[in-house]
Amino acid sequence: MKKTAFLFPGQGSQRVGMGHDFYQEYDLVREIFDMAEEITRINLSRLCFKGPMEALTATVNLQPAVTAVNLACLAAIEKEGIKSQFCAGHSLGEYSALCSAGCITREDTIKLVFQRAALMHREATKHQGAMQAIVGLPIEAVERIVAEEQEKGIVSIANHNTELQVVITGSPDSVNQVASRAAEKGAKSIALKVSGAWHSDLIKDAEDEFNSYLQTVSFSPPESSLIFNVTADISEDPVEIQSIMARQLCSPVKWYASMLRLIEAQVEVFVEVGPGRVLSGILKKILPENYQGAVYNVDSVKQLERFFHDNT
């Protein structure tokens, strides 16, 4: 088997219909949805398969819904006997990566994201927030603008996705001011449809409470190399991993650096495991032009068959 990395998407990858054909095809997938619905008391299968989109995208529904689909796609891949040597997940997707690496159980994965979603929703209702993608400036240039604007209000880096795509987060006025100043330097800004300022100090009040909840979950050493959002590095220590995940809520997602680590490790096959093509689209912008690697999406039975055909 070629050196393979599983990449798990987070918020923003959802679509009505996601996971439906796996649900019809695999008993194990139906069991995953049943388990997730028992924990959350949300009819996730109906939301995922039939919507409506407005209800699906509500944070308290969306986080367990996307995670259930990620785990469903992963279960279908693993049933075919395919394992990965590396994994990573983007923000919410990192919990699916923890499960993929054997750090936490499926049940604990759903419990954690459900609690995370509830706390994030609570903080978003207390503090109005905004996020914008800044395209066209390197991270250092955006950091300089953010540092200057932080003296006036709450704003920070949420995600560093590609070399020239940085997402900022914080209070609406401060985010708009950073975006305006970035535009003066030739950047383009795109407002994101979010209900809160994720990965910012505006949701800081959730961090200690979530950390306490994390302590109730048993973490195991990862069975594959898991690259974390907060550090863009690997950890094998369960205690350190718990600490990293507590910090993840308000820390920047170092996705660009994480993908560079996989490139440095000479990963040959990248698989986006879950709905959508967000992460594979980002990855294609990062991979060097002559890089010898293949990129796959697996969020349907047909895509799984293609991936299995090419890699076995």
Q: Which residues are catalytic?
A: 91, 199
How would DSSP label each residue in 189-210? Answer: EEE---SS-TTSGGGTHHHHHH
Tokens describing residue 120:
């994030």
Of the candidates 206, 139, 150, the one whose C-alpha atom is nearest the C-alpha of residue 173 is 150
Same fold, 4-125+201-311 and 130-191: no
Bridge partners of 133, per DSSP, are 167, 190
Question: Is-contact 198 158, C-beta < 8 A?
Answer: yes
Q: Where are the domains of the chain?
A: 4-125+201-311, 130-191
Model pTM score: 0.97
192 exposure class (CB count in 10 Å sphere: 0-12, 13-18, 19+) = middle
pLDDT digits (tens, 9 = 90+) for 123-171: 999 999 999 999 999 999 999 999 999 999 999 999 999 999 999 999 9
Of the candidates 250, 211, 246, 252, the one whose C-alpha atom is nearest the C-alpha of residue 231 is 252
The CATH H-level superfamily of 130-191 is Malonyl-CoA ACP transacylase, ACP-binding (3.30.70.250)
Of the candidates 137, 138, 229, 232, the one whose C-alpha atom is nearest the C-alpha of residue 188 is 137
pLDDT digits (tens, 9 = 90+) for 263-273: 999 999 999 99
pLDDT digits (tens, 9 = 90+) for 74-85: 999 999 899 999
pLDDT digits (tens, 9 = 90+) for 1-45: 799 999 999 999 999 999 999 999 999 999 999 999 999 999 999
The CATH H-level superfamily of 4-125+201-311 is Malonyl-Coenzyme A Acyl Carrier Protein, domain 2 (3.40.366.10)
